[in-house]
Amino acid sequence: MKRSGRNGFRFFKGEMNAQALRWLALETRLRRAIEREELALHYQPQVSRIDGSVVGMEALLRWRSEEIGAVPPGDFIPLAEDTGLIHPIGEWVIRRACFQNKAWQNAGLAPVRVAVNVSANQFKSGAVCAIVRKALADSGLAPRYLEVELTESVMLGDSAAAEAQMAELRAMGVSLSLDDFGTGYSSLGYLSRFPLDKLKIDQTFVRNITTEGRSAAIAQATIALAQGLSLSVVAEGVETVGQRDFLGLIGCDVMQGYLYSRPVPAHEMAQLLAKGRVA
Ligand code: C2E
Ligand code: CA
Ligand code: CA
Ligand code: CA
């Protein structure tokens, strides 16, 4: 069986164990999720610390299966990666985010950029530039209102190909941000080489920022690095006023986290956009 490396994907005396059967059942359901319209995007605002205004948003995928209910992305994204389903699902995400953002703009809401997550496998397929180009053309969304979030793992392996695709997206006018910064395995050298616009400080550092010197030091160094390289910086997973204030002191002005808003369905995001601010 091809996914023998994963837990549960092993045959025992010609029989699959219960875990493998569960995964297969989940895969079958995920395979039908797009056509059954079980996928949705929720949106989490990115907020200016200074005045509470909504300066951007991240699209986050949600799956509500008819049979088994809501499945968290942490459970089905790895399965999608393993099975290749990440490609059609990822394309759906990009198109949905572009069409939704354009619809909000058409409705007269103040335009903000929408960020979509693109996984390393998806990016390395080489198809993302064409998918983005077509999604922008079909939806009519201006490229400056789309951001692609990548993780450090896209820089591993054939980094020349990754660099070329990133340059192509940038040339289109799409922004690039580096998600979960500091949690991957890449070296800092890629920061000068790859054409990025933004770093996202990972929530693991934000979580302990007021209690743990090491996390605070990493956050502070990330902000200094971003400033030195003329990149913008967003802190994610901001849950408390203490975290927000600390991040402010060390120079981070854009925040994303439960303190401001959870990821919300599109109709609630429209209300936040209409107000222009959270709370
Ligand atoms: P991520 O890209 O790092 O997204 C941030 C995650 O942190 C989201 O979890 C979000 O709901 C959560 N979060 C936001 N604010 C807070 C906070 O203040 N505290 C805490 N504890 N968590 C917060 P979610 O939506 O469950 O997504 C988990 C991961 O699944 C994402 O991590 C991303 O890696 C992946 N994912 C989600 N949507 C997509 C997608 O469309 N495509 C791909 N390839 N991956 C996706
Ligand atoms: Ca993200
Ligand atoms: Ca992240
Ligand atoms: Ca993450």
Global confidence as pTM: 0.94
Q: What are the E-state strand segments in 102-225? A: 113-117, 146-150, 175-181, 198-201
Q: Tell me the pLDDT band of 21, cut-offs 50, 70 and 90.
A: confident
Q: What are the E-state strand segments in the chain? A: 11-12, 15-16, 39-48, 54-65, 69-71, 113-117, 146-150, 175-181, 198-201, 232-236, 254-256, 264-265
118-168 pLDDT per residue, tens? 999 999 999 999 999 999 999 999 999 999 999 999 988 888 999 999 999
Look at the block and give the residue holding tokens 């979580």: 207
Buried b (16+ CB within 10 A) or exposed e, 47-78: bbbeeeebbbbbbbbbbebeeeeebeeeebbe
The two tokens of residue 111 are: 């335009």
Q: What is the ipTM of this complex?
A: 0.98
DSSP-derived secondary structure letter, 60: E
Q: How far is residue 29's CA from residue 7's CA, in Å, rounded to a whole number?
A: 19
C-alpha of residue 60 to centroid of ligand 1, in Å: 6
Q: Identify which of 34, 43, 60, 207 to mutate to test ligand 1's pocket (most ligand atoms within 8 A of the CB).
A: 60
Strands 69-71 and 54-65, by their bridges, are antiparallel
First to last CA, the chain: 51
C-alpha of residue 257 to centroid of ligand 2, in Å: 12
